[in-house]
Amino acid sequence: MSRNPVQSKKPKATSPQPAAQGKPGDDAIIDQAHVLYGSDAATAVAYCGLDDWFEGEEVEFRRFAQLFRRLMN
């Protein structure tokens, strides 16, 4: 049985590999999150990661999880 009872109509990511660490765009995402959300940047990134998790987008979920970890450090 699936962990997610609500299935998305989006095609699912097929790669089980974690997202690449340190992508050039990651720094830009973190900077923009700080500009837009200030001290709540980590919460906003976590919300994006949860959205990807519920949509079944594991690769993007892992990327946002990595960004969240960087924001929390």
- Helix-, strand-, coil-residue percentages of the chain, each rounded to 5: 65, 0, 35
Domain ranges of the chain: 24-72
Contact predicate 54/7, CB 8 Å: no
Whole-structure pTM value: 0.65
Task: Pull the structure tokens for residue 31.
Answer: 């900077």
Q: Using 50, 70 and 90 to split pLDDT, how confident is the model at 36?
A: very high
- Residue 73 pLDDT level (bands cut at 50, 70, 90): confident
CB neighbours of residue 35 within 10 Å = 9
Q: Is 56 left (phi over 0), alpha (psi -120 to 50) or beta?
A: left
Taking residues 52-67, report their average pLDDT: 95
For residues 27-49, give the mean pLDDT: 95
Q: Report the pLDDT averaged over residues 45-71.
A: 95
Q: How many CB atoms are located within 10 Å of the residue 45 CB? A: 24
